[in-house]
Structure 1
């Protein structure tokens, strides 16, 4: 958190300067005096913005309901996490590796590097988890051939 002082950001119509004192001349200025401070925060995208005054702290834990075809899971994660980090947590619960997962939020597939809070994911929102069809097909083919999934390339015998 950074603190910057600037009288330019104070809401004032006119001020009367008397020595080092600043006297407010309108009711709007009552909260804006010489020590007018604005709290700033740096967002993950690199944007410097005025800090919100609601009682939420940065990195608050939210609960997301992740639904698969047949089950749903309630996952608690920081709101500033990425979809890639969410996939890592889901891999522990679903036994699907992160590369095998496709996450959809509001009808769109989300990339691993997108932040939850930047997309608009809030507490108790729903995310759909699907298994990547290409990897699913590769698994089925390898099981039909009797190979392990870790070695998808068959050995060529002459």
Structure 2
């Protein structure tokens, strides 16, 4: 199977390509409006046959540090952690702040308890996300 790069010029948001300063904008560069409709869009064919817009080589959604607000019954803690970390690693950080051992902690995100091996970025936890910390019932 032969892969071809498909280039598409978006004319929806810009009336004329002659208004651009150097004639066209390369696919990796972004204009003042975040790259929407400002030049060529590069496409790639995924192994499953899906045609998708090619990603920039910049920082992806799962990289870098994020700030997480962890609420307990009586306190709030702001924790800075890598987005690719697991909930187990978040529990270890919280044990330093709360004094509660990781095995005694229950972390809830979006109303559901998360397992220790789940990654933060895979469940959708982003920067300034909120997590609820509860003490395990058997410990009380």
What's the TM-score bracket when you normalise by the shorter of the two chains?
0.5 to 0.7
Q: 2:56 aligns with which of 38, 50, 53?
A: 53
TM-score, length-scaled by structure 1: 0.56
Q: Which has the larger share of helix?
A: 1
Could you say if the C-alpha distance between residues 119 and 8 of structure 1 is closer, same or farther in structure 2, counting changes exceeding 3 Å?
same
Match of 1:10 in 2: 5
Answer 1 or 2: higher relative contact order, Cα 8 Å, separation at least 6.
2
Match in the other structure for 1:88: 92
Say what the alpha-carbon RMSD is for the aligned residues.
3.0
Q: Which has the larger radius of gyration?
A: 1
**Aligned position for 2:128:** 124
Q: Which runs of 5+ in 1 are unaligned?
A: 1-5, 14-29, 39-49, 137-158
TM-score in terms of structure 2 length: 0.62
The 1:93/1:52 distance shift into structure 2, 3 A limit, reads farther
| Equivalences, count | 101
Superposition deviation, residue 53 in structure 1: 1.8
Displacement over 2 Å in runs of 4+: 54-59
